Amino acid sequence: MQRVEIYTTRTCPFCVTAKRLLDGKNVSYEETDVGGDPAVRQAMMARANGRRSVPQIFIGDTHVGGCDELQALDRSGKLDTLLAG
């Protein structure tokens, strides 16, 4: 199973949706809240090619993107393959 990282904020409904999808697949993930620390958000943006929005999701070395991209991967059947590595 690949390492999954998700950058979130507490009030983001898209973050909740993305985590719910991962939870439904019994995927453990490391969550980093970028809401209270500008330095942590800057680090996320550096990894996410400048994207400021949350969530930003990484599976292994792959930058998935946000909630919409995660859901699209799941609908296409590619998410499980990516998670398996």
CA–CA distance, 70 with 79 (Å, rounded to integer): 7
For residue 46, the model assigns a pLDDT of: 97
Q: Summarize the confidence of residues 5-18 as an average pLDDT.
A: 97
Q: Closest Cα partner for 42 from 29, 31, 27, 52?
A: 52
pLDDT at 42 over 90: yes
**Tokens linked to 83:** 């998670």
Give how many domains the chain has, as a whole number: 1
The boundaries of the domain holding residue 29 are 4-84
CATH of the domain at 48: 3.40.30.10
Kindly report the backbone phi and psi dihedral angles of residue 71, in degrees, each rounded to the nearest multiple of 5, phi listed first.
-65, -40
Please tell me the pTM assigned to this model. 0.95
- pLDDT class of 76 with cuts at 50, 70, 90: very high
